[in-house]
Structure 1
Amino acid sequence: MSTTMRAAVCVKAGGPEVLEVRELPVPQVRDGWSLVRVEGAGLNRSELRTRQGHSPNVAFPRVLGIECVGTVADSTDPRLPAGSTVAAVMGEMGRAFDGGYAQYALLPNALLMPVSSTLPWEVLAALPETYLTARGALDALGIAPAGGGRLLIRGGTSSVGMAAAQIAAAHGLETAATTRSKDKAGALAAAGVDHVLLDDGGSLAAAVQAFWPEGPDQVLDLVGTSTVLDSLRLVRRGGTVCVSGSLSGWLIPDFEPIAMIPTGTRLTAFHSDTLKGSTGQGLLQRIIDEVEAGVYRPNLDRVFALDHIVAAHRHMEADRATGKTVVLPWADAADAPTD
């Protein structure tokens, strides 16, 4: 194994151009940590915000990336033999320590989820953060395995939104989902969404009530702070809103819970950090098995080589993606589109 690797380093807070591909030393294994050869890393909006300087306590330079898949290159943990296929999500990856935008990542053993998969690396890389978040958020909403009910997904063409739509459809829910682009409506329909709504930034009340006069039973809000109050007004009385995305930021100015949450309506949240490591391993394996069986069809939007990380962030920041964007650290630059 080489003593050096290529990594995309965020050198300071700023635009996509602050990501620089550099040659770095391969990290050395230490007690409680394993070295992973990264075969794929999904891109996430939280990395965009970290790059912009909005994540507190992140020191630059930093290798970003809150998730990755790959194989164990070296470990002192007997449950993680060399060559094992693993996935990792969250746990301060790409924030407190270097993350998945590299050919190798030194990661805490507690974060690693050994899995079995025959999927191509780019498909496997599209699953961990996206599908664990979607499944966890639907569980937080109280979606029953038996199905039934009406679910509205705000931010439907995000990677988590597309995954949630597929899972909900498989459970027999009637679904509606929003998009800000007419060009993306077909992708939502293909994911099993029954009602596609164009979100122009205003209230969705009239559009939703046209087919659900009493409102949805649940709202999965992936847009976040700019829409959650409207979601609370939209959901039927006694229904539940789950915030599990931050496409519009992290804070609601002047939030007054008693005045703004209708009586009997529930507001909850889901954070994928709760499904890291051994807690999420079984669930991720079930997701992989279901993808391999054709129950879900991951929405892989674009695949970029590491050399094209700037183009990948521009693609994400311009909201061009419909589904998941993935970076392959070992891919030749000619193998992946530059946008």
Structure 2
Amino acid sequence: MMTEKMKAIVLTKPCKADELTTTKVSIPKVKPGYDLIKIKALGVNESEVTSRKGESDPDFQFPRILEIEGAGVIAETCKNSKFKVGQKVITMMGGMGRSLDGSYAKYTLVKEENIIPFESDLDCSIIGALPEMLQTAYGSLSQGLHIKKDDTLLVRGGSSTVGLTAAILAHHMGAKVITTTRNEKKLAKMKELGIDYPVLDDKQFKQTVKKIAPTGVDKVLELVGFSTLFKDMSLAKQGAYTCFTGALGGQWTLDNFSPFMITTGVFLTSYAGKY
């Protein structure tokens, strides 16, 4: 059993990125159903950024070790664990980095059902950034939108990691994909990656989308938030689905919301993941 201390970034209050510092804390103790992972690499997600700024979900509590995903090796196992010490794994856990301590640390304790073994020649620095991005993108498409071949999909916030991943996945699933960005360089990158219709989010945005989809889009993946949600829903056809998955613009909620703000005949759903 490990008893020494470990380095971790412990968030005690909202702060700027350059104000984050490491401290020494106790290594989590293994318990039934949980294994200890030595973290080798991790991604930086929007959820960590909003938590650091103090703009996170209501279940977030200080002090907290951030980060909901990571890649590493099993350092210690619980009794009857299905994993072995030294085994390469990735993890993504509901509540991790929010109501539970995450992987901005040398070690993190994770429930076994949220540990995935992997064998790959890819470096952990690549593997560690994949779980949240892939799970959110694929889950939004398959469960939130039920995307299918020949659908026209509008991805609002298409230059984000989830947006770009969702766009590429949807393209390979046979959908016609429209993505948005406010940045000319990112627009060029989208074209380079083979996105069907990269669109600049400017004053002509609505007209541009209507030229691509004159009768309206079939599906909308909303990643920017309430600041663009209803504008995007107005571009959808009758019977279309809009999936609210993220709020890159920072607006997760809306004061004085009324159901009548939703476009008639367009279904509004959400995807928060189940893991």
Pair in the same fold by TM > 0.5: yes
Q: Answer whether contact 1:89 1:128 (CA < 8 A) is retained.
A: yes
User: Unmatched 5+ residue regions in structure 2?
Assistant: none
Match of 1:73 among 51, 72, 75: 75
Q: Which residue does the alignment assign to 1:333?
A: none
CA 1:110 to 1:172, structure 2 compared with 1: closer, same or farther past 3 Å?
closer
Q: Answer whether contact 1:10 1:18 (CA < 8 A) is retained.
A: no
Q: Answer whether contact 2:93 2:110 (CA < 8 A) is retained.
A: no
Secondary structure class of the residue paired with 1:250: coil
Query: Displacement, 1:203?
Result: 7.9
Q: Which residue does the alignment assign to 2:164?
A: 162
Q: Which residue does the alignment assign to 2:106?
A: 103
Spell out the pairing of 1:140-179 with structure 2 (5 A cutoff): 140-144=144-148, 147-179=149-181
2:57 is the counterpart of 1:53: no
Q: Answer whether contact 2:219 2:242 (CA < 8 A) is retained.
A: yes
Distance 1:59 1:176 in 2: 37
Q: Answer whether contact 2:35 2:76 (CA < 8 A) is retained.
A: yes
2:197 is the counterpart of 1:195: yes
Query: Displacement, 1:85?
Result: 2.3
Query: Displacement, 1:169?
Result: 1.6
Q: Answer whether contact 1:4 1:23 (CA < 8 A) is retained.
A: yes
2:236 is the counterpart of 1:228: no
2:141 is the counterpart of 1:117: no
The structure that is helix-richer by fraction is: 1
Match of 2:95 among 87, 92, 112: 92
Q: Which residue does the alignment assign to 2:23?
A: 22
TM-score with structure 2 setting the length: 0.91
Spell out the pairing of 1:210-229 with structure 2 (5 A cutoff): 210-229=211-230
Q: Answer whether contact 1:165 1:191 (CA < 8 A) is retained.
A: no
Q: Answer whether contact 2:70 2:90 (CA < 8 A) is retained.
A: yes
CA 1:203 to 1:57, structure 2 compared with 1: closer, same or farther past 3 Å?
farther
Match of 1:135 among 124, 135, 138: 138
Distance 1:183 1:165 in 2: 17
Query: Displacement, 1:26?
Result: 2.3
Distance 2:61 2:223 in 1: 27
Secondary structure class of the residue paired with 1:73: strand
Q: Answer whether contact 1:64 1:101 (CA < 8 A) is retained.
A: yes
Distance 1:217 1:27 in 2: 47
How many equivalent residue pairs?
270
User: Unmatched 5+ residue regions in structure 1?
Assistant: 277-339
CA 1:136 to 1:99, structure 2 compared with 1: closer, same or farther past 3 Å?
same
Distance 1:208 1:78 in 2: 52
Distance 1:79 1:32 in 2: 10
Query: Displacement, 1:155?
Result: 0.3
Secondary structure class of the residue paired with 2:237: coil
Q: Answer whether contact 2:159 2:180 (CA < 8 A) is retained.
A: yes
CA-based RMSD? 1.9
Q: Which has the higher contact order (CA 8 A, sep 6+)?
A: 1
TM-score with structure 1 setting the length: 0.75
Distance 1:111 1:211 in 2: 41
Q: Answer whether contact 2:70 2:129 (CA < 8 A) is retained.
A: no
CA 1:172 to 1:92, structure 2 compared with 1: closer, same or farther past 3 Å?
same
Secondary structure class of the residue paired with 2:42: strand
Distance 1:203 1:29 in 2: 56
Q: Which residue does the alignment assign to 2:85?
A: 82
- The one-letter code of the counterpart of 1:227 is T
Q: Answer whether contact 2:8 2:25 (CA < 8 A) is retained.
A: yes
Q: Answer whether contact 1:11 1:19 (CA < 8 A) is retained.
A: no
- The one-letter code of the counterpart of 1:100 is S
- The one-letter code of the counterpart of 2:185 is D
Distance 1:209 1:264 in 2: 18
- The one-letter code of the counterpart of 1:177 is T
2:166 is the counterpart of 1:184: no
Secondary structure class of the residue paired with 1:197: strand
